[in-house]
Amino acid sequence: MEIRVLGCSGGIGGAARRTTAFCVDTDILIDCGTGVGDLPFEALVGLDHVFLTHAHLDHIALLPMLIDSTMSERTHPLMVYGLPETLDVLRRHIFNWAIWPDFTRLPSAEAPALRLVPVVHGQTLDLDGRRIQVLPARHSVPAAGYYLQCGDAGFAFTGDTTVCSSLLAALNALPNLRYLVVETAFPEAMRARAEASSHLHPEALGHFLSALSGSPDVYVTHLKPNCEGAACAEIVALDCTPPPRFLQPGQIFRLAVGKGRDRETRESLASVDAGRA
């Protein structure tokens, strides 16, 4: 399994700032932020599954454009997974004919281009031997994280969350957690904003990491562009072992042998890295 970071910023502003999206092998997305727009068209057509952490715009921004751009090339629906509350937001506020066409009924209700699939915390799905577990999270709206496992190693992404005891318990119960991607949005000077919006700040991140029973490689994501320098300095100063690192666009995590759809799609994905170099 290969996990490629398409976007990991808490905002936009420049080529290095794309909002949250991960591409798993060549057919799965975790969130659908603006980073998805850097994929070549051939790679977009190859996407079959999208797992959403929650309904905030920076995590769903390109989902409407993705299905609109690729519908005519698809032979089966794009499967979009999320908590029931997340999918309800998509139905009522995005795919409602006012903001965007309802692709769950296009080209027909019997054979739609898009299917919305509800998931619940604790559920595990198996996609061709790749296990994806839905993790609990605590955010300002109903939210989830995801744990991806293939072989004897796993990758967890918290999504947007503040400190969450059920998330910590779920992470500590994972036997093979090798990589943990955890959000932190604001520095301590903006702690009140972080707490009001249910995001982590550096001190809360430190407490969160100290409560982990294992020692995964930790990567911080979702820093807000206007204050990322201050937040980074405070995160670097945390007394954590191992110390957290900062997620980078284009970064790749490999858990096992990847499941490529075909060579052409892999070459298309590789071109994203070349463009960012």
The C-alpha atoms of residue 203 and residue 238 are separated, in whole angstroms, by 8
What does each C-alpha distance from 86 to 83, 187, 196, 245 come to in angstroms? 5, 28, 20, 30
Which of the listed CATH numbers 3.30.70.360, 3.60.15.10, 3.10.20.90, 2.40.50.140 matches domain 2-276? 3.60.15.10
Residue pair 253/3 in contact (Cβ under 8 Å)? The answer is yes
pLDDT for 15 = 86
pLDDT for 224 = 96
Domain boundaries, the chain: 2-276
pLDDT for 149 = 93
pLDDT average per 10 residues of sequence, the chain (277 residues): 97 94 97 98 98 98 98 96 98 98 96 97 95 97 96 94 97 95 97 96 96 94 95 95 93 73 40 39
Tens digits of residue pLDDT in 241-258: 889 999 999 999 998 744
